Amino acid sequence: MTKTLVIAEKPSVAQDIVRALTPVAGKFEKHEDHFENDRYVVTSAVGHLVEIQAPEQFDVKRGKWSFAHLPVIPPYFDLKPVDKTKTRLNAVVKQAKRKDVTDLINACDAGREGELIFRLIEQYAGGAKPLGKPVKRLWLQSMTPQAIRDGFDALRSEQQMAGLASAARSRSEADWLVGINGTRAMTAFNSRDGGFFLTTVGRVQTPTLSLVVEREEKIRKFISRDYWEIHATFGAQAGEYPAKWFDPKWKKSEDVEARADRVWSAAEAQAIANAVRGQQATVTEESKPTTQASPLLFDLTSLQREANGKFGFSAKTTLALAQSLYERHKALTYPRTDSRALPEDYLPVAKQTFEMLADSGMRHLAPHALTALNNNYVRPSKRIFDNSKVSDHFAIIPTLQAPSGLSEAEQKLYDLVVRRFMAVFFPSAEYTVTTRISTVAPHSFKTEGKVLVKPGWLAIYGKEAADEVEGGKDGDKGQNLVPVKPGEMVNTLAVDPKGLKTKPPARYSEATLLGAMESAGKQIDDDELREAMQEKGLGTPATRAAIIEGLLTEKYMLREGREIIPTAKAFQLMTLLRGLEVEELCRADLTGEWEFKLSQMEKGLLSREAFMQQIAAMTERMVKKAKEYDRDTIPGDYATLESPCPNCGGVVKENYRRFACVGKPGAEPCGFSFGKSPAGRTFETAEANALLRDKKIGPLEGFRSKAGWPFTSEIVIKYDDEAHNYKLEFDFGDDKKGEESGEIVEFEDASLGACPICGSEVHEHGSNFVCSKAVPTAAQPTPSCTFKSGKIILQQPVEREQMTKLLETGKTDLLDKFVSMRTRRAFKAHLAWDKEAGKVNFEFAPSKFPPRKPAAAGAAAKSIAAKAGKTAASAKKAAKPAAAKKAPATKTAAAKAPRKAAAGKAPSAALAAVIGAEPVARPEAVKKMWEYIKAHNLQDPKDKRTIVADDKLRAVFGKDSAGMFELAGILGNHLGGE
């Protein structure tokens, strides 16, 4: 019997599909990596299992950070498994290759990325030739069992998905071409003068960054201007009312800060106030009804913006919550959508959703749902139901399944979506807007009143509705006005000129940055216009959160509260790209055009070949511009530091690569300068000022060695006797300097707790937490304790509170920003006091998944028993757990034995004079060598990493000194030819 293989994107979705199909297709049997019944085999990926790579003959193996092999534009792409998920890939491929599996269903997420995940797996499974099995597409908008069954009844053909598949591959390959070539070219350019300065660029991330940098440049260049408003209070027979002066003849001009109610001098403002004070005014007014419709339904970007504005959720957090509400709780429809409308045949489902909400028991939502049903609010509307405004997915709305067990954050987001869904069916809010003009010839004062007559959809939001009255908090709008009789003269009771200042544009928050990405940087507040522009936006709703997070991770941007602020590294990158005239990576609107072309490809209106040719041409041009740039510096808007040159007291200015002294007025520069990006970390201007002022700064994070390893260090400026000038150096914070120099340490901070070794107080000192008896103090000049623990460990900052907790309880909270030096992957661990080792060590949280018992253990034991010629009874005995454990141990010991015998090497005569003549392995030799070095105090006091040779070591080194990292290599030459 033939079967159909269903490949989902995640294991949880595979389980949902199995549950939905069981009533109609029969019971499934669960296997290790798949489910199976008579008709279907259901398995899943775990996100991307395969990624594209350049074929070996076109890939750059050596010297990839130089211009020599750029650009890399392969004629086709190979595939490679994602390292972390190779096992899962092999399991999926095994099912796809089964002879009884004759066709496939792509059940990955309904979008561009889901299409790519499946297509790459299918291609990889086929190998050199296509897999050749027909494919259908399961397109799910909702994860309820009925929606899944409906999806299986309406599978899409491969031809229907061809445009989306082309766009998915093109997006992936375009990002590879621009990202790989751009990053290598810009890194090569920035590393030309030595060192390694990783400079990442991307087809979408860099234009997004340019939006943030351009806004910050406007803020920095903004010059605030003084202006005045004239506020008055008028008295009528019925009471008082406020008003504000304005010029009725005012028209917009080139001055973007000019307004009808602003005057630009204190004298003019005072003159107006003096002219009207105590005078009577005539009154004219006009009242008219107005309505305000509810906002449209949510797509992902508008949901992320709203959640950021209301709750401070990041775009990444909102997407994760929405995905959980869709996948896990089945409470929301598919979240990664760019549509804000529903299909025209969805009215019955909308009514059923209101019925579910009315009966749900959610007291804060149910009454509004009941109101809508009782008043027949749920009816056809082109604003809500419009097929022309629905792309592959419709707007985010609640499903027919009432959720339970939501976290607080999930509940907040669910409520946000439900309220918006209900509001869009409710009537518009109705207001009466009154505009009153009070005139004291020739001056006019305006008062606006906005009275809510019928709340309509605002009733759903209750108290929040007060904020919906635009300008209600400004004092001149939104108030109820006392009546004025026709022809009544009113008195000017008070008039007050208010001095104010113009403000720079606001920094981006995630909400406003998402809006700017959606419209490719164009300031669009109107919903309809924004909708027309969103096909030309930066990225897609599904990718924008990841783009913002990527820029934060690469330290191009920082979050401060809700504001997003670009770093010096971001400004340097923009200066470089502008100087090289690589417009495509600087201008958001140009990159928005690429995204528009991808959407055209999805619709079958643009060929994949034409798009990729344009991307290849852009890539070649970008690399050529960087490679052929021959000027000394890049033109840019550079800073002048406040702190003077430490060498001559002259002015220090920034250029593209360095901060350099330009001398005192009328004098020549003294030659002092330092690089802006030592070890790949770019100084902020404030940091450079502090470094010059204090001659040191740090410890700072974010440095990378030439090999790419991250490290943390202080930076100091020291006088170099040979160069007769100051130079920049890394200082790794060796707190033993005080101990060796005898310099007395005075602790100014409060004690963090008791030392776990001796019970004395623990304090901050340099880059460490130390016991007060581990450094020289007035009370104890000779240290007697060894407790010391770093303030930054594997890039994880250790806060004072955490060290206090460790000293009190024995370990810190679970910390999640450690980065392995070996794998460079982040990991979580507690820091805990290890009494046996006498130091702070890692303690890992127990795994949620118990280790799997080796399936072959029993078989291995039986095999050993059989070879030994045992009886069946003894073979059975050998299969017991104890014997099974011993078998592998014996094998391991046997495997290790030869290596152990060969490990020891006889030292040369010179080395034997230092460590003895016994055969020894190189690690043991290095250990003995260090014991000798420390016993004879042979480390250079100024640089602990340099060993100053005595007579014995000179014979080993062949020179007067050696670096600590040279030791292993030197000793290898002295160990029996090793």
Q: Which residues, listed in sequence order, are joined to residue 640 by a DSSP beta bridge?
A: 653
The answer to whether 476 and 445 are in contact (CB under 8 A) is no
Separation between Cα atoms, residue 242 and residue 239, nearest integer Å: 11
Separation between Cα atoms, residue 547 and residue 307, nearest integer Å: 18
The answer to whether 205 and 644 are in contact (CB under 8 A) is no
174, 246, 265, 502, 688 from 251: Cα distances, Å: 47, 12, 19, 19, 46
Separation between Cα atoms, residue 680 and residue 704, nearest integer Å: 6
Q: Does 76 qualify as catalytic in the annotation?
A: no
Cβ atoms < 10 Å from Cβ of 900: 10
The answer to whether 333 and 340 are in contact (CB under 8 A) is no
The CA-CA-CA angle for residues 949, 954, 957, to 5°, reads 95
Separation between Cα atoms, residue 472 and residue 433, nearest integer Å: 12
DSSP strands (E only) in 388-519: 429-440, 443-454, 490-501
Separation between Cα atoms, residue 615 and residue 170, nearest integer Å: 9
Which tokens hold the place of 113? Answer: 């990325």
Q: Could you give phi then psi for residue 71, rounded to 5 degrees?
A: -80, 155
Separation between Cα atoms, residue 81 and residue 90, nearest integer Å: 9
The CA-CA-CA angle for residues 152, 158, 164, to 5°, reads 105
In single-letter form, the type of residue at position 600 comes to Q
In single-letter form, the type of residue at position 692 comes to L
Q: What b/e sequence results for 652-677 when a residue is b if at least 16 CB atoms lie within 10 Å of its CB, and e otherwise?
A: bbbbbbebbbbbeeeeebbebbbbbb
913, 944, 965 from 968: Cα distances, Å: 17, 17, 7
Non-local CB neighbours of 367 within 8 Å, separated by 6+ positions = none
Cβ atoms < 10 Å from Cβ of 944: 14
Separation between Cα atoms, residue 423 and residue 297, nearest integer Å: 9
- CA quadruple 902, 908, 909, 912: dihedral, nearest 10: -60
The answer to whether 857 and 886 are in contact (CB under 8 A) is no
Non-local CB neighbours of 900 within 8 Å, separated by 6+ positions = none
From 40, 241, 326, 334, the catalytic residue: 334
Non-local CB neighbours of 678 within 8 Å, separated by 6+ positions = 195, 703, 715, 728, 730
The answer to whether 316 and 549 are in contact (CB under 8 A) is yes
Which tokens hold the place of 413? Answer: 């987001």
Catalytic residues: 334
